[in-house]
Amino acid sequence: MNTPEVLTNFRLYYDGAKDMMGVVDVTVPDIEPLNASLKGAGILGEISVPILGHIGAMAMTINFRTISQDVNLFNMPVPHVVDLRGAMQVQDTASGVRKVMPVRISGQGSTKKTSFGKFAVGEGNDSSVELELTRFNLMIDGMESILIDKLNNLYTVNGVDCLSDVNKALGL
């Protein structure tokens, strides 16, 4: 068994580019199911139930140290594809040996907001971009962990198609 310890480092790539984008930190989206309220005969009060495959807004925030052409790239009215590639340090619990496990998050979406930050002498200006993702993919150690594609009815977790019955009912 591997015990995850720390994200050693990561790089952000834009739309398949070979060069990383600036010096950044990234807030990855939360996965929050949409819910419906269920109430009526036989139920004491109300129950909030998740709607199969429906996920709330998935926002990804990319914080840049300074203003650059990389920040401005997100102002183009096109789908933006970003790829985070990380090296996670893990420890093998049996041997105590530390090793690196690749972690990758990719997403596609549209720009919700661009902030060019502030100007202050001797400081970075903290520019940022917020994306609304329609596609989110998490890979851990080369294996797909989560795939959500809102526009193509895809929702898999650890290889399990969570929408197979829904898609079958829809004739997909």
Provide the pLDDT for residue 124.
83
Q: What percent of the chain has pLDDT over 90?
A: 83
Which residue segment(s) compose the domain that 59 sits in? Answer: 2-170
In the chain, the number of structural domains is 1
Closest CA to 106 of 49, 170, 149: 149
The dihedrals phi and psi of 5, each to the nearest 5 degrees, come to: -115, -50
pLDDT at 131 over 90: yes
Report field, pTM of the whole predicted structure over 0.85 = yes
Provide the pLDDT for residue 68.
84
Provide the pLDDT for residue 105.
98
CATH number, domain of 122, equals: 2.30.110
> The tokens of 19 are what?
């060069």
